[in-house]
Amino acid sequence: MRSETAPTWVGFAIGFGVALVVVAIFALAKGEMKVVSSVTFRRDTQPGAFWASVIICLVGGVVTLAYAIPHFGPGG
């Protein structure tokens, strides 16, 4: 018998994917990506590291969403 709710991992995966995409969009809007408290990549001073981090967030978020969304629903 299938469950009436989606599995817990699907909710976490969708939330993680959305968060990654939102972080990438905010980084594009601000022009900087804060990786940790002491490391910030700016578009004008470190374009390679900035674009790499934005692309990693976008690709990771889209791949996570593409995997998790089909499993969302009754019984997963």
Provide the pLDDT confidence category of residue 76 given band limits of 50, 70 and 90.
low
For residue 2, the model assigns a pLDDT of: 62
29 falls within a domain: yes
The rounded distance, in Å, linking the Cα atoms of 3 and 44 is 51
Range of the domain at 49: 8-33+42-68
52 falls within a domain: yes
Total-model pTM: 0.83
For residue 20, the model assigns a pLDDT of: 96
For residue 3, the model assigns a pLDDT of: 66
How many independent structural domains does the chain possess?
1
* CA nearest neighbour of 61 among 29, 30, 15: 15
75 falls within a domain: no
Provide the pLDDT confidence category of residue 54 given band limits of 50, 70 and 90.
very high
The rounded distance, in Å, linking the Cα atoms of 29 and 11 is 27
For residue 44, the model assigns a pLDDT of: 93
